A and B are shown apart, each in its own frame.
Chain A
């Protein structure tokens, strides 16, 4: 059992967007993790001051490696360091992966509807990757509804395009500030009509995983329940902060 704080080594860094970076970590002794779990990262300053933040695991790797995608927060104590300074070969204190509730079970045949607001896509990407890795083991249809500010602010774009060529995954983007050039799409925040047109129908009894800023998650979950989706099929993970409503 992995409990308490362990030392992970940074073995790779990839710029994901202008403000986000993916870190690949090696955590000796780790034997995979469940899709949707998170780790806690602890930084300690020279004066002993510590700061702990939680980051969802983005990867679905079987061994002792995992990836985190970190978005830089303007007033962050931890994220600017992880996005701009930490380098391959550095060490980080990590607790986890933990959290057995906001996870997708590859043995569950239910259709899955994922809904992401911004960086909330990270744990949902772990589920998509685990689903693709389990194929042809898992025939559960997956859908992702992904709300992004602009085309260049979405994570994993090329990989999602590639994975969506499978009949088992479809991806729908909602652009809130800026739509792709020449697309004719008017940027708008997610609304109930757009949501209900994009998600799997009630009769499919989908399992929902919704992740994003608190207001986004609560508003979306509320629209789904009002539309007749059972609340006990909706799992949410709030990223905190004062993110905008959809």
Chain B
């Protein structure tokens, strides 16, 4: 994995939204990477796992794969976690989707 970048600029050095599952698990009670979000800038909808993650030294940015605008900003100071969601006009969770619960299901 790559180390944290400097600024989270929308360059080429990014990961999948899937990679934000751990940090976001500190904030949300369910796995929001499988939730569908709508970009407030361009209207594109899709699972957060398909967005682009730009880690930086104090958190991460989640950018829209369509227009590259910021969907979500997570700032971790060590003492606090702040989440800015103003780049998404809604977030939809399927209640019974496999994986919508963070609790891992026992392997078959």
A residues apposed to B, CB below 8 Å: 1-4, 30-35, 37-40, 51-55, 60-62, 77, 95-103, 105-107, 130, 133-134, 137, 214, 236-242
Task: Please tell me if the beta carbons of B33 and A100 are within 8 angstroms of each other in the complex.
Answer: yes
By a CB distance below 8 angstroms, the chain B residues around A51 are 3
CA distance A172 to B62 in the complex (A): 35
Task: Please tell me if the beta carbons of A130 and B108 are within 8 angstroms of each other in the complex.
Answer: yes
Q: Which of B1, B19, B29, B98 has the most CB of A within 10 A?
A: B1
Question: Chain B nearest CB: distance from A11 CB in Å?
Answer: 18
Task: Please tell me if the beta carbons of B26 and A3 are within 8 angstroms of each other in the complex.
Answer: yes
Task: Please tell me if the beta carbons of A102 and B49 are within 8 angstroms of each other in the complex.
Answer: yes
CA distance A44 to B26 in the complex (A): 19
CA distance A77 to B107 in the complex (A): 32
Question: Chain B nearest CB: distance from A243 CB in Å?
Answer: 10
Q: Mark B1-39, 1 if CB is under 8 A from A, else 0.
A: 111000000001111111101110110010101100000
B100 sits at the interface (CB 8 A): yes
CA distance A237 to B47 in the complex (A): 14
On whether A214 and B104 interact (CB within 8 A), knowing A100-B31, A101-B34, the answer reads no
B102 sits at the interface (CB 8 A): yes
CA distance A102 to B22 in the complex (A): 14
By a CB distance below 8 angstroms, the chain B residues around A241 are 1-2
Task: Please tell me if the beta carbons of A239 and B1 are within 8 angstroms of each other in the complex.
Answer: yes
On whether A37 and B104 interact (CB within 8 A), knowing A3-B26, A99-B33, A241-B2, the answer reads yes
Task: Please tell me if the beta carbons of A99 and B105 are within 8 angstroms of each other in the complex.
Answer: no
Question: Chain B nearest CB: distance from A215 CB in Å?
Answer: 9
CA distance A2 to B23 in the complex (A): 13
Q: Mark B34-53, 1 if CB is under 8 A from A, else 0.
A: 10000000000001011000
Task: Please tell me if the beta carbons of B98 and A100 are within 8 angstroms of each other in the complex.
Answer: yes
| Interface residue count on the B side (C-beta < 8 Å) | 35
CA distance A98 to B49 in the complex (A): 12
By a CB distance below 8 angstroms, the chain B residues around A130 are 107-108
CA distance A33 to B103 in the complex (A): 9
By a CB distance below 8 angstroms, the chain B residues around A4 are 25-26
Residue from the list A40, A105, A214 in contact with B22, Cβ < 8 A: A40
By a CB distance below 8 angstroms, the chain B residues around A99 are 18-19, 21-22, 31, 33, 49
By a CB distance below 8 angstroms, the chain A residues around B101 are 1
Residue from the list B3, B21, B23, B26 in contact with A38, Cβ < 8 A: B21
On whether A62 and B106 interact (CB within 8 A), knowing A3-B26, A102-B18, the answer reads yes
By a CB distance below 8 angstroms, the chain A residues around B34 are 100-101
CA distance A31 to B107 in the complex (A): 8
Task: Please tell me if the beta carbons of A240 and B13 are within 8 angstroms of each other in the complex.
Answer: yes
By a CB distance below 8 angstroms, the chain A residues around B22 are 38-40, 52, 54, 95-96, 98-99
Question: Chain A nearest CB: distance from B25 CB in Å?
Answer: 5
Query: Which residue of chain A is the closest to B28 with respect to CB atoms?
Result: A3
Question: Chain A nearest CB: distance from B101 CB in Å?
Answer: 8
7 closest Cβ pairs, A-B complex? A100-B99, A101-B49, A240-B2, A98-B21, A40-B22, A32-B107, A99-B21
Task: Please tell me if the beta carbons of B99 and A54 are within 8 angstroms of each other in the complex.
Answer: no
By a CB distance below 8 angstroms, the chain B residues around A61 are 107
